[in-house]
Structure 1
């Protein structure tokens, strides 16, 4: 597939990296404390943080994966957009404000507030690292497919080198800028992504006379499945198992966002709970508008580029949006949109990396190994070292996941977050009797069940599109485990609580007052 001039693509690409690195260095100047690395000194307004949340959330899955899923599967691809957007209502109504009031740096601060510190912090950190790893797989796979399309790289070695470069840049952003630098990269990226997608959306609609019906008619006429792309269940209606798989996917998407550690950590970058709520309302508006754009872009790619050409291009379905950009505006627009997509990947992986590093350093190293007595300087040094390790591990994982649909890979991260994190978060915030055993059982029960079901699912082995197509150890029929693993997480939390009696009523009362009123929210969380 002809993708224009690779040198133009590389030049636009490099210009963005250079500009964002300059921004990261400038905003990171001055004295640095632990809080600057973890939450940027709580110096961002609700609007700024909302834009950054949109930048964090609108990942390669949103731009590359969903546009590709709509182009290939039509209506069923749009279900990703609906699930991702509705998920924010759960975050807004149940999580954002009390989480901001109760925590300090990480999700584990909330989960361990009225519990025994060591077991809960350990469990929360392990869950955070697992969710971050699966999310990183999606971004790295998106990077491989995107740059493969840009540079015409067909061989596996070349795409693996691209993934390694993305990992290296991610480490630099985190080490140099911390949360403050990462946030500004996400703000820049969010603005560019939404504007770029908006321009392409208007362009496609102009070609169709501003008539959405004309767009849908042309897409269905050009698609191999015809009018079926306008109806539900093209992808999920082949069998009873695939229908259950759709229900499982919907559960993961709707409940997962409120348990994503890198999104939850963003609530700590604002000074008050009111600004945390404002952040989410800004994020919902921006994310909702963008997902409407993906509908137009996906159907536009279906008839302007063609499904067969999309699937034959490097990166497969993930190439739909860049290929559409090339069809509309040639080499220059492709280079700009591809650079924006690359910026998307860089910003998200930087946010994920800093979340994983903060969780290990703050929760495991300081909270568990040092019993909360490590100096802030030492804790940040450990976090920086962890960021390097996470970057290297994500490179290896990204090479293995290369070629998978990134929206689907993100849905696995959502499933783990919904299974392991959300039950414990909701129980901690709203159930007075919830205990340490309940928290630990909830996290490990949801996490282990989700991981086991993923390992023995068609995602990993037993199908042509699996990560390891040559092997077959799959016995779980669903591609997404949430239908089973989310109830297990809630049930394990309930069972652990009713079989124990270690609830601290005084700490529970303090947490309830603090989460609802914000009183004492700036005080350090006790270890």
Structure 2
């Protein structure tokens, strides 16, 4: 994910022009805001209980939730970054699309149904089911908040940088205002509408995104007589690089880069099934069957999107050219907007700009509701109040958390201007893959798993992934590093997954086998039956 970084200040500082008509871009975006505000206000009238606020009343169908998952998962980095990566690196760029899509098989086969059967609102509900509540909930909430906050900072900072390209705002004050506007909209959506409002924002955004990339893909293919080989040939001719269609242009130049790709692939494929804003979506459906349907439907939509990125990426290489893309504000991340402007001028660019804004807005709303549920339900409701907090009190705590997280995201996004935010996204996936997924799998599938194992796995995965990234080239010594002029990189790879993920599994096993006492076997048996069959799941969803 580090190669798919959202626009950085190094890009925005060189900006001298904007693409298209900024007023058209703003106008189309305001239409989207008006539509989603209407949906959120309608949803707010039905948000009365904690189940409504955190899980949308479990009233969404598998198809609706699958569409919302697609809206939650397809971030601005995916939309802008992957198209640019394919345009510049060809075959190697498309490997990102494959990695993101394959990741959903992990979610479908291992966690979707079992999470829905076992949990109530958050990942911590599952992890603490058969283990000691207090320490496990604190650890799970810490991990969830870490993933959510870092992902939020990247999205918010990306919002300001994206605006500099599409709306012609190149001052730090202007970008800060845009970040504040996006943050306030996000706070309003989640505060008023809860999960119901957030879900409808994500459904609308996913629909617009899929329609937008679909139209552009058909348009590009039509220009080449619906002959994909002709498109590839033109891309090779324009770039004057036959290696565009061969593996190894970005990865494979040396042994270290190959290992780096394996590390990144592990983080992406395993991290998706541990992302809190994705996991929380499994609780918005009424049954485990609908949870499975959600994932199948989301795979269908996400798969279609990533196939379109293949056409858009090579289309950008053929119609825009790598030199134009590389020299544009935002570098390779500008490939999709430049392609839209090349195809349909100001109108199509305005639509794509609105979709890009919508993408950021939907993702930050999903992350905020996940962070809110984690703190209000797990820390405040279950640890501080020891489960004695009523539904209204928990909703008040949730809404207060939304405001706090939103303000932190705005301030963090403003503070991240002028810095490379790629490491934030990499950290989010690395933490999810290292801390969350091993503990979830151990809890669901290993009877011998103990509280000590859970704590060692979560805290070990969290701390090791952070430390490895802090002392990697993502932070130090390289042109795109957080501190490019100082080289303190002790870890040579840009992603910690190849080390931190196995380490987290090892710590979970080691902590469990060294525990002197086993957990309650009756509770473990109940969790196994419930996770596999769904018996008693409805009892877990009552509040």
What SS is found at the alignment partner of 1:297? helix
Which residue of the other structure, out of 512, 521, 526, is the alignment partner of 1:497? 512
Which residue of the other structure, out of 486, 491, 495, is the alignment partner of 1:480? 495
Q: Does 1:236 align with 2:257?
A: no
What SS is found at the alignment partner of 2:85? helix
C-alpha deviation, 1:403, in angstroms: 7.6
Q: Which residue of 1 aligns with 2:217?
A: 201
Q: Which residue of 1 aligns with 2:6?
A: none
C-alpha deviation, 1:65, in angstroms: 1.3
- Measured against aligned partners, the alpha-carbon deviations of 1:49-107 in whole angstroms (never above 9, x if no partner) come to 11111111111122111111111221111111101100111110110001100000000
Against the structure 1 CA distance between its residues 393 and 511, is the aligned structure 2 distance closer, same or farther, given a 3 Å change threshold?
same
- Tell me how far apart the structure 1 counterparts of residues 93 and 127 of structure 2 sit (CA, whole Å): 35
Which residue of the other structure, out of 269, 274, 286, is the alignment partner of 1:254? 269
C-alpha deviation, 1:287, in angstroms: 0.4
What SS is found at the alignment partner of 1:314? coil
Is the 2:46–2:52 Cα contact (8 Å) retained in structure 1?
no
> Which of structure 1's runs of 4+ aligned residues deviate more than 3 A?
399-412, 524-527
Q: Which residue of 2 aligns with 1:355?
A: 370
Is the 1:62–1:407 Cα contact (8 Å) retained in structure 2?
no
Which residue of the other structure, out of 86, 100, 108, is the alignment partner of 2:102? 86
- Tell me how far apart the structure 1 counterparts of residues 415 and 496 of structure 2 sit (CA, whole Å): 20
Q: Which residue of 1 aligns with 2:56?
A: 40
What SS is found at the alignment partner of 2:136? helix
Q: Which stretch of structure 1 is more off in the superposition, 317-326 or 256-265?
A: 317-326
- Tell me how far apart the structure 2 counterparts of residues 334 and 526 of structure 1 sit (CA, whole Å): 47
Is the 2:150–2:428 Cα contact (8 Å) retained in structure 1?
yes
Q: Does 1:134 align with 2:158?
A: no
Is the 2:423–2:474 Cα contact (8 Å) retained in structure 1?
no
- Measured against aligned partners, the alpha-carbon deviations of 1:282-332 in whole angstroms (never above 9, x if no partner) come to 000000000000011111112212222223323222221111111100000
- Tell me how far apart the structure 2 counterparts of residues 136 and 301 of structure 1 sit (CA, whole Å): 28
Which residue of the other structure, out of 35, 54, 60, is the alignment partner of 2:70? 54
Q: Does 1:434 align with 2:449?
A: yes
- Measured against aligned partners, the alpha-carbon deviations of 1:184-216 in whole angstroms (never above 9, x if no partner) come to 111111111001100000111111121111111
C-alpha deviation, 1:367, in angstroms: 1.4
What SS is found at the alignment partner of 1:243? helix
Q: Which runs of 5+ in 2 are unaligned?
A: 1-16
Against the structure 1 CA distance between its residues 395 and 237, is the aligned structure 2 distance closer, same or farther, given a 3 Å change threshold?
farther
Q: Which stretch of structure 1 is more off in the superposition, 156-165 or 125-134?
A: 156-165
Against the structure 1 CA distance between its residues 217 and 65, is the aligned structure 2 distance closer, same or farther, given a 3 Å change threshold?
same
Is the 1:131–1:413 Cα contact (8 Å) retained in structure 2?
yes
What SS is found at the alignment partner of 1:523? helix
Is the 2:47–2:196 Cα contact (8 Å) retained in structure 1?
no
Which residue of the other structure, out of 298, 305, 310, is the alignment partner of 2:325? 310
Is the 1:401–1:467 Cα contact (8 Å) retained in structure 2?
no
C-alpha deviation, 1:406, in angstroms: 7.8
Is the 1:415–1:480 Cα contact (8 Å) retained in structure 2?
yes
C-alpha deviation, 1:408, in angstroms: 7.4
What SS is found at the alignment partner of 2:189? helix
- Tell me how far apart the structure 2 counterparts of residues 207 and 315 of structure 1 sit (CA, whole Å): 26
Q: Does 1:468 align with 2:446?
A: no
Q: Which residue of 2 aligns with 1:149?
A: 165
Q: Which residue of 1 aligns with 2:382?
A: 367
- Tell me how far apart the structure 2 counterparts of residues 113 and 221 of structure 1 sit (CA, whole Å): 59
Q: Which residue of 2 aligns with 1:321?
A: 336
Matches within 5 A, 1:142-221: 142-221=158-237
- Tell me how far apart the structure 2 counterparts of residues 459 and 395 of structure 1 sit (CA, whole Å): 23
- Measured against aligned partners, the alpha-carbon deviations of 1:357-382 in whole angstroms (never above 9, x if no partner) come to 11011111111111111222222212
Q: Which runs of 5+ in 1 are unaligned?
A: none
C-alpha deviation, 1:217, in angstroms: 1.6
Q: Which stretch of structure 1 is more off in the superposition, 376-385 or 122-131?
A: 376-385
Q: Which stretch of structure 1 is more off in the superposition, 161-170 or 271-280?
A: 161-170
Q: Which residue of 1 aligns with 2:537?
A: 521
- Tell me how far apart the structure 2 counterparts of residues 395 and 306 of structure 1 sit (CA, whole Å): 35
The Cα RMSD (Å) is 1.8
Is the 1:317–1:405 Cα contact (8 Å) retained in structure 2?
no
Q: Which residue of 2 aligns with 1:24?
A: 40
Q: Which residue of 2 aligns with 1:279?
A: 294
Matches within 5 A, 1:370-449: 370-399=385-414, 401=416, 410-449=425-464
- Tell me how far apart the structure 2 counterparts of residues 133 and 19 of structure 1 sit (CA, whole Å): 27
Against the structure 1 CA distance between its residues 407 and 476, is the aligned structure 2 distance closer, same or farther, given a 3 Å change threshold?
closer
- Tell me how far apart the structure 2 counterparts of residues 416 and 175 of structure 1 sit (CA, whole Å): 27
Residues paired across the two proteins, number: 526
What SS is found at the alignment partner of 1:475? coil
- Tell me how far apart the structure 2 counterparts of residues 404 and 458 of structure 1 sit (CA, whole Å): 14
- Tell me how far apart the structure 1 counterparts of residues 245 and 425 of structure 2 sit (CA, whole Å): 24
Is the 2:376–2:394 Cα contact (8 Å) retained in structure 1?
yes
Is the 1:145–1:316 Cα contact (8 Å) retained in structure 2?
no
Q: Which residue of 2 aligns with 1:270?
A: 285
Against the structure 1 CA distance between its residues 525 and 253, is the aligned structure 2 distance closer, same or farther, given a 3 Å change threshold?
same
Q: Which residue of 1 aligns with 2:352?
A: 337
